[in-house]
Structure 1
């Protein structure tokens, strides 16, 4: 499912216009992104938790030349599914 299909599904399920559903989906994505950019978690009970994890700097190798490469430290987004989502996926 891509974003357009998600917007259509939200519009159908909630009886919103497509434009209102697009606004709602965009707002959810913006809030998730802003919250995680601040280093905070988003916990949706029954669905899952969006969190930010820190990955330390490390050394790697260029596969074509074998040269050593420095990989900088960075923050990475993570998602851990909740029990409700796990159960829903495993019942079908």
Structure 2
């Protein structure tokens, strides 16, 4: 029988990896539009630190509303973005 601590640790690791995959997709969007972190931060009313942490998959308070705001800013479909991140997550291709 598995221990809850192990299950929680594995779940946390998976979520962290998915956050990294999602962050990489956001990074690619930003770079594809030749925008700096400072510009994105100013235009989306977030700090440069938050934008950077989101792109690195390190931001712990990442709400769906922030993802939606960023996707609208890049004119990107949130479903497509999440699908690409899920593909990377499933295939460990980050």
The TM-score, its normalising length taken from structure 2, stands at 0.30
**Rg larger in structure:** 1
Larger % of strand: which?
1
Larger % of helix: which?
2
Q: Which structure ranks higher in relative contact order (CA pairs < 8 Å, sequence separation ≥ 6)?
A: 2
